[in-house]
Amino acid sequence: MKILLVEDDQDLAEALLNGLQKNHFKVEWIRDGKTADTKISQESYNIIILDLGLPKLSGLDVLKQARDAKIKTPIIVLTARDSTKDCVQALNQGADDYMTKPFDLQELIARIHAHDRRSSHSEGAVLTYENIELDTESHSVKINDEFIYLPRREYALLRKFLENPGKVLSREILMQAIYKWDDEVDSNTLEVHIHNLRKKMDSHFIRTIRGIGYILKK
C-alpha cells in the first residue's frame, strides 16, 4: 500500500515513517502543502495522511484542491488543534477521517486499513448483516426484506457498523460518521441515534462496551 504522509513536524514524521514502514507500508514523506498539492495531482496513492498546519499551503487548502480536482483518495487529517470546529471543517471539505495529536500508531494503522478496504469496494456495494441490508449506492436500507426509512445520521451510523462488524467502535469514530453529514451535533446525539437504531432492529445487535464504545455483535 502506498501512502503519502504530509507533515512538517520532523520528529513526528520520522516516528510515523519508521512505524508505518515497519508495518510494511510504502511511505512518501512531504513537508509542505505546496509540494503535497503537486504530488497529489500527479501521482496515485492508496491513502493520504495530511497535517492541517503546513507551511506554504495549509492542509485545508490541500484538501479542498484535491477534492475540487475530483481526487477520491481517502484522506486522514492530523491536527494538533483540539477543536471540533477544525475537525468538522476538514470533514466538510472532504476528509474521510481525522486524528488529534497525540495519537496511537496502531489506531492510525487500523484506520488506514479500514479506509483502504472501503475505497476498494464501497461504490455500489451492498452491506449485509443477518436480516439487515444496506445499499450504499441508493442509500436504502432493508430489514427482513422490507425497506425502512432512516434519517441521514442513523443511516451514517448503521453504515459505519456494517462496515466494521465485530469491531468495537469508539465514540469518537462514530461521532465522525455523524459529522460527515452535519456540523451541529449535540453532546447526546450519538446515544439518541444508537437508541433509535436499536428500536428499528433487534436491540441486541448493537452492544455497548462500557467506557469504550459500541460494537455490532458478530
Domain end position, chosen among 75, 97, 120? 120
Do residue 114 and residue 6 come from a single domain? yes
Q: Which of 67, 91, 120 finishes a domain?
A: 120
In angstroms, the CA 55 to CA 32 distance is: 5
Residue pLDDT, tens place only, 79-120? 876 666 777 888 888 899 888 888 889 999 988 988 887 776
Q: For the purposes of burial, counting CB atoms within 10 Å of the CB of 116, is it exposed (0-12), middle (13-18) or buried (19 or more)?
A: middle
Q: 17 and 40, same structural domain?
A: yes
| Same structural domain, 60 and 139 | no
pLDDT at 127: 85
Q: What is the predicted pLDDT for the residue at 184?
A: 54
Residues 175 and 190 reside in one and the same domain = yes
Whether residue 209 sits in one domain with residue 109:
no
Count of CB atoms situated within 10 Å of the CB of 62: 28
pTM: 0.57
Same domain, yes or no: 15 and 47:
yes
CATH number at residue 197: 1.10.10.10
Q: Please indicate, yes or no, whether residues 113 and 151 belong to a single structural domain of this protein.
A: no
pLDDT of residue 181: 47
Contact 53, 8 (CB under 8 A): yes
Q: Give the domain range for residue 163.
A: 123-216
CATH code, domain with 26: 3.40.50.2300
* pLDDT computed for residue 214 by the predictor: 92
Could you report the per-residue pLDDT of 170-188, keeping only the tens digit for each?
888 888 777 654 455 556 7
Q: Extract the residue ranges of the chain whose pLDDT is less than 50.
A: 181-182
| Cα–Cα distance, 98 to 91 (Å, whole number) | 8
The count of structural domains within the chain is: 2
For residues 100 and 142, state if they share a domain. no
Q: Three cell numbers at 142? A: 432493508
Regarding whether 45 and 99 lie in a shared domain, the answer is yes
Cell numbers of 79, please?
491536527
